[in-house]
Chains A and B, each alone.
Chain A
Amino acid sequence: MEAKEWALKVRRGDRKAASKLISAIENKEKIARNVLKLLFYGTGKAVSLGITGPAGVGKSCLVSCLITAFRKKGKTVGVIAVDPSSPFTGGAFLGDRVRMMSHTRDDGVYMRSMATRGYLGGLARSTLDTMRVLEAMGKQVVMVETVGTGQDEIEIAQIVQTCLLVLTPDMGDDIQAMKSGIMEIGNIIVLNKTDLPGKEKALLDLETALRFRSPAEEGWSTPIVSTSASKGEGIEELMNEIEKHQAYLRTGEGLSKFAFKRAEKEGAVLLKDEIERAIFHGLKGTGLRRRYLEKIAGGEIDPYSAVEEVLSRFIKDSPQESIRPLNQKKAGG
């Protein structure tokens, strides 16, 4: 299939075309990038939500509740649920779908389970591209559920408009709530499983901790919503807060600031990928990679100098010379 035809099929909402495209992206097939180039235009307008938090706090269950709520409002929904790959075998057990199966029959919902495949930060390398695919196929709301996070997986905040941090009453004491990192990335904090004991204390710890944080977004103070996703409690209030945050983004420069932030993130990842690809392609079959690694391991060369050597070997133009303003033609050319 040609890129143009493929893109057209995805835009028409063809599930198989979208699903094959996501695999092609994950498998780093060249054609995927050509399709993505075509799909880019016109996307970036869908509501994007992130759902993050430690393992077992009820993220998938909450996503399922949110799908129901958005569907009731007549919105179509795309979901990406990320779970970790094994660093040893490369295998993965993707279990998020178990909690969302009730939506399988709904044609207005597309769900995709995704393994991290070695990408750190709580997401997969293909997550952002896949968000674009889901939007291109017509999904009005795109949700991304991260892997169960620890304290520092904050990348999700850079790629979704509204990020929900999900915690439970047994999340730990006020010391945990005071830490940097993941505690800072929720535009909305969700205290789930409030049917468990300890709700009041957890709420107090969170409220106190929030009081002494400088707001990540000017004019938005992070609300805390109590839910019990398995019972469907608190979902209406959570939806209200999501809408409030979306409205907040729309009134100011929030959305354009966010779009810039996401472009910055994506540009950096793509550039890093391309540089890596160029270098690995150059090193392939030369035996140099192994020789460098052996030299570093054997203490013959320091890793800093080795990397500099490799870089100068494969990236011919020094950046200063090759960067020109986007719209300025080369002198004499």
Chain B
Amino acid sequence: MIWLVASFGVFFAGAVLSMLLPRRTLRWFGPLASALGAGLGLVPVVMALGPGGDLSWDRGWSMPLGAFRFGMDPLSAWFAGAILLLTTLAALYASGYLRDAEERKDTGVFWFHYLLLTASMLAVVTARNGILFLLAWESMALTSFFLVIFDHEDGAVRRAGWIYLIATHIGTAFVLFLFALLGRHSGSLDFAGFFAIARHREVASVVFVLAVLGFGTKAGFMPLHVWLPEAHPAAPSPVSAVLSGVMIKTGVYGLLRVLTFLGTPPAWWGWMLVAVGAASGVLGVLFALAQHDLKRLLAFSSVENVGVITLGLGVGLLGVTHRDPIMALLGFSGAALHVLNHAIFKGLLFLGAGAVVHACHVRDLEELGGLQKRMPVTGTTFLIGSAAISGLPPFNGFVSEFLIYVGAFAGIIGSTGTATLSGAVVTVAALALIGGLALACFTKAFGVMFLGEPRSAHAAHAHEVGGAMRLPMVTLAALCLLLGLGGPFLLPLLASVTAPVTGLPASIAATVVRETPALQILWKVTAATGGLVVLALLLGAWRAHLLGGRTIGATGTWDCGYVAPTARMQYTASSFADPIIRMFGAFLGTRSRLSRPDGLFPEGGHFASDTPDVSSERLYAPLFARLEEVMARIRLLQHGLLHLYILMIVLSLLGLLFWKLG
């Protein structure tokens, strides 16, 4: 564990130094500090996932209620691994991304907060004490807030930053209350004592609901997700990648960690997660499909993927409730694997989006197009990310969704209770619908941006980004394929990662993995998808052989003989998504403005549509407006007269004194 402490040390020292060093030095210093810290941090991760087992490190401190304690078990290690991997790659990317901003912005501030954010995320997943956890949680919220408002000259960015800051603190309020409840029943805020709560069933249920609300705000459950589509587009792209890829997963970690304290769950917990997951997944992907802004689209898609993860957690919980070890193991394992997979492909997609913004200076899909020819590396890696996020073989998204599917089907076949059966079938239907809609969403994103002809001069003059930005994208794309084929190697790891929540001791989990066909199935999936790759290569070679020596013509796209095609004749992102948006119009509230072309020589037709976030407009805006009215009355106390403030302080101290004496 000394390695973990050393890793924290590197991140802190790096953060302080980056405020002092000149900007040109930071180009290599930032990524280096990030990589060095991550390298040190990965040592205990590997040890905990390997035979090392649980590690812990504690020191006394002057805070009441428990010790200063860090720990690394496989569950922590899994999340820590994803965090360190993605932050290192995003740091390398950031050094290329920030080069243009160097003259007008202080990149030292960026690296200071970036390194501290990495350290706080690492601390969140390794903290073993409530107060320590909350400190890390708060530091994570603040450093990420400062990264979101990096371009604070822009009013829209500041607004997004405030929304994020408020949303995250509302979430923190629930988490605070949660730890207060847990601490009250165990007499200490050490995680080790929290297991006592399992005896009090009602309190455990309250804790569970608080965890869903508090950690769900961070993870982005519908309708607590409002900050995601605001903050992620506003942040610089490497930061969006880290926020979307790993930071929101600390919410999933929090939920999982709390579940380990709560004992056997009643069926409605699993049902609640299935319902939340299905709602987040389906609505998230529908809103994603309706967006024109590339980064907003990706942010909503994160809501969708958190929904998929939550469906897996729901299946797992139902499995634990009904003592179905296969369902529990596969549900939780699928969810945990999807956490890592989403970190990889969403990180990749946000980095690709950043490359497009860097090259074209626009985020609006309607102004892009034809970028595959101009940015071949970005395009190809973005294509791999799109296939992976749509859950297609042979990429990694398929493996995690496959595990959740098999878990749900195991429940369908084996269950006797209506709760499990209906929960499992809702999961299957939701996953299938999400899969189909995600495919629509990402064929739209990739197709409109990278294929066809450029729709604006910005896109026509785009150029490929530099090596520091390309390398992380290529690495992540390679990981998509590698994990897509490496399922069988991951399952035994996942069994130990999820052991605290599945309630299966490591030995039994190992038996389940060995003796049920789960592992065999994954081998066959790997063989089948690998076979697919080989078959495609063979067919490609056969076609090349057939076409060898024959005439290969090159011409314009077929357009029914029309001789002057323009790029404006192409299908746009809005028109591509329109049929689905209309079909689900009742949920989305898309607004469109149409002025029809008029007269004998029609001209001046115009159409625009946008899909704002329904829950932020219809739920939060009225709620906060009402809240402001009420709170305005308290403003009487905020008069700005210093002597009255002092009087109030004296009065409250006196009040406390009397309370204590009386």
Do A and B pair up? The answer is: no
